Amino acid sequence: MQVLDAPLVQDLEAKETTRIDLGSGGNRRRGFHGIDHLSLAGSRAVADLNKPPNLGPDQLIDHMRTRHVLEHIDGSVPLSREIHRICRAGALIEISGPDSSNAYALSDSMHVRSFGLLSMSHHVLPDKRHGMRRVPAFCTGIRSAIQRVRIEFHRQRRIGRQLAGAIVCWINMSPQNQESREGLLAHWFHSWQITYRMRAVHS
CA 44 vs. chain centroid, Å, equals 20
Confidence of residue 3 (pLDDT cuts 50, 70, 90): low
Tens-place pLDDT, residues 118-172: 888 877 777 777 776 777 766 667 788 899 999 988 765 554 566 677 888 899 9
Task: Tell me the helices (H) and strands (E) count for the chain, helix number first.
Answer: 5, 8
The neighbouring-strand residues paired with 148 are 197
Looking at the chain, list the stretches that DSSP marks H as alpha helix, in order from N- to C-terminal side: 6-14, 76-86, 103-106, 161-171, 175-180
Q: Please list the helix, strand and coil fractions of the chain in percent, rounded to the nearest 5, in that order.
A: 30, 30, 45
CA 100 vs. chain centroid, Å, equals 14
User: What is the CATH T-level fold of the domain 48-152+193-200, as seen in this structure?
Assistant: Rossmann fold (3.40.50)
pLDDT value for 7: 59
pLDDT value for 77: 83
Rounded Cα distance, 198 and 76, in Å: 17
pTM given for the model: 0.84
φ, ψ for residue 166 (rounded to 5)? -65, -40
Domain ranges of the chain: 48-152+193-200
Tens-place pLDDT, residues 24-79: 877 777 888 888 777 666 666 777 888 766 777 788 889 999 999 899 888 788 88
pLDDT value for 199: 93
pLDDT value for 40: 63
